[in-house]
Amino acid sequence: MHTELTPQQKASQAAFRAFVDAEIIPHASRFDREESTPKNIIEKLAKRGFMGAVLPKEFGGVGMDTITFGLLNEEIGRGCSSLRSLLTVHCMVAHAICKWGSKSQKAYWLPKLASGEVIAAFALSEPNVGSDAKSVETTASPADESYILNGQKKWITYGQIADIFLVFAQCEGKPSAFLVEKNSPGLAIKPIFGMLGVRASMLAELHLHNCRISQDNLVGRLGFGFSYVAASALDYGRYSVACGCIGIAQACLEACIRYTSERKQFGVYLKEHQLIRQMITEMIVNVKAARLLCYHAGYLKDIGNPKSIVETAIAKYYASTVATKIANDAVQIHGGNGCSSEYPVQRYLRDAKIMEIIEGSTQIQQITIAESGYQEYFQLLTA
């Protein structure tokens, strides 16, 4: 594997960074305060093809390679983690339909998702179900040519504005996945406000009360919901989040380089203090290490290596934990200013903490990594 980006990937990275610097960073703190993402910024993402990043060109997508998709998530995450979350969940649903959807579902939904005409959200979590995703309590009952859904979903990213939801429910004891449009009879959407971080991600609760959908809205087969549809989508989601965490960490590093070069204490710039240099050194090393883990996971995905799943878990675990540490140190370096809304590092810290929870918590990643490690290294020891 080559750790250097290709010329095309470098060009894409530069274009992504320029877009983020011009269109996102100047407004990100306002998005956070208002707990909302303006429609016009989503339209700008769509205009550049970002909403169809993971989709093949035959469906109107861009067909990005996985590493380029990671670079996109890193740069948008550097500017605004909430907006990166939109890219994550939207592309998770698009990926799920592309891989597991019927021909008619692909033909109808994928061009709309690629263009941004339709916004998609991923509806797995519930009030009583988070990490134990196989135990969803929402039910789907066959009825004539329909399914009747009953239950509640919570913490649904961009649920306030999504046009379609990928909803997971138990159908006759089999975890299954369904497409539910926002105007479906029996679906009520309740906004969620006041979260610790990613406040502009427009979270919502979904209340499904005898919500009737067509049998054609089943994605894959009955029983495919978690092991196939959700698992493949969450794998891409973890990769997106991991790369977004690098963006947070990079933003913290750049903020600290700038701040310590401008602020003096005890007659010298902060950057001249040895302990500050130590903190900056650790930031640089951890950012580079996390980035290489993401590159490696992306490379394995592109060549179809099954090890990409656990390598993505490793990348997500490491990137999210170091993002929180780096953000915490960034606030410390900024002192009182770091606790003020006038400086973005407090937002980075709040957002970083959320990254340790979503798309599989830190502890879930540890379980996955440990199980894989025991299998791999036990085989080596007993060979």
- CA dist 273 and 268 (Å) reads 8
- Helices marked H in the chain: 7-23, 25-34, 39-47, 66-79, 81-100, 103-115, 231-262, 274-302, 308-334, 345-355, 362-382
Q: Pull the structure tokens for residue 323.
A: 């993002």
Distances in whole angstroms, Cα of residue 276 to Cα of each of 34, 156, 216, 260, 273: 34, 39, 59, 8, 5
Q: Taken in order 250, 316, 227, 377, is the CA torsion positive or negative?
A: positive
- Centre a 10 Å sphere on the Cβ of residue 363 and count the other Cβ atoms it contains: 12
Distances in whole angstroms, Cα of residue 262 to Cα of each of 81, 217, 257, 271, 285: 26, 57, 9, 9, 23
Which of 323, 307, 326, 319 minimizes the C-alpha distance to 372?
307
> Which amino acid appears at position 271 of this protein?
K
Distances in whole angstroms, Cα of residue 274 to Cα of each of 253, 258, 333: 17, 17, 13
> Which amino acid appears at position 330 of this protein?
A
Under a CB-based contact definition with an 8 Å cutoff, are residues 52 and 61 in contact?
Answer: yes
- CA dist 137 and 153 (Å) reads 9
Q: Pull the structure tokens for residue 229.
A: 């549809």
Q: Pull the structure tokens for residue 124.
A: 């797995």
Under a CB-based contact definition with an 8 Å cutoff, are residues 89 and 128 in contact?
Answer: no
Active-site residue list: 359
- Centre a 10 Å sphere on the Cβ of residue 305 and count the other Cβ atoms it contains: 12
